[in-house]
Chain A
C-alpha cells in the first residue's frame, strides 16, 4: 500500500478532509510520508491516538521533528540550522521530567476552581464586547467584535499584559499561525514577541501587580529567560485558540438552527454543548506530532525508534467506535473524552479557562441576539484552512 500524506483541504467547512475520514475506515494507523521525505505514521483512530499521547516513549522535543505538511518544511530546516533552540521555558516542547517542573508552577493557576472564580469577570468582559457589537450596528464581523476580543482581554488580564499594547504581539502572532509564512518571518515574529515579553518581565519585577506573571516573578523559581518563554506560550496559546472556537462554534450553530435553538432555550445544556462543539470542530487540525524514542507497538503496529507519528485529532474525534453517529453535531450527546485538548502530560493547560469562556460566551451571544444569522451566503465565509488553528477568518453576521 502506498504512503499517505496529511492533507488540509476540506470539502465541507465543519468536516475533516474526506481523504482522512476514508483512511480511518481502513484502520487506525497509516504509513505517512513527511514533507522532508521521512517515512513515519499518521494516526486516525481514537484509541490509537490516545495511546500514543499517553505513552512516555513518545517525545515532543523539537530535535526529533519532521514536518507533517510541506508548508512546515522551510521552518523545520531553519530550526535545524539553529540546533532547535526554542525559548527556555517553552514547556510544550519538553518531555518529562523537565516539562513537569514548569507545568507544576502553573497548574495551580488554572484549576477548575480558579477558573470558576474568574467567571464573573469573564461575564463582564463578554457583555462589554456585546455592547460594542450592538452599538457598531449590523452587519458586523463576529470575529472582530466577539470571538477575538473576549479571549484576548481575558488572557491579557490574567497574565498582566496591558491590553492596549496588544499591537505589539497580535500581528506577529498571526504570522506564527499562518501556514504560508516564510520561515524567516516566523523567526522574526518569535523574536519580537519574546523581546516584548522580556521587557514586560522586567517591568513586573520593578512594579509587581496582582497578575500571573508578577506572581511567577515573585515566586523566584524561574529566571527571566524562562519567564519569557512561559509568558510566550500562555499568551500565544491563550488567545488564538479560544477565539477560533468562539467564531467557528457560532458558525456551526448558525448552520444547525435546531441545535442553536436547543442551546438557546435550555441553559442546562451549555456544558454539554461546549464539549460537543469542541469535539465536532476540533480546531487543532495539524498534529500534534510525536517521535518514538524506542520501538513501540500501538494496536498491533510496530512504530520504529526515531519514527514520527502525526495524530489527526479531528478524525480521531469522529471515530464511530467512540462517538456513535460522529458526523452529526448533537449538543445533547455526552461528548466528554474527546481529544480536542490533547491527552497525556501535555493535555491543554488552559482548557478550564477555554471552557469557561465558551460557557459564558455562546449563551450570552444568543441571549443578546436571538435572531443572529449570517450576513453573507455560507460559501462566502472565509475558512482558516491556511492556518495551523482552524476556524473562520471573518464571520459577517446580522440580527
Chain B
C-alpha cells in the first residue's frame, strides 16, 4: 500500500498529461501502483480549474481593454 502514489505525485502526473510530457519512471510507477479512479477524479478537477482559469484570463484581458 505504501507504494501507491500520494496526492502530489498523482497531481504531478495529471499535470504532465496536460503538458504532454511524462518521464518513463513516473509512468511505470503510476501504471504499476496507481488506481485509475484517482487519476480520473484529479483530471476532472484540473480540467474544471483550467476552464475557470481561461474564463478569468479572458475577463482580465477585457478589463485591461476597458470593456
B is bound to A: no
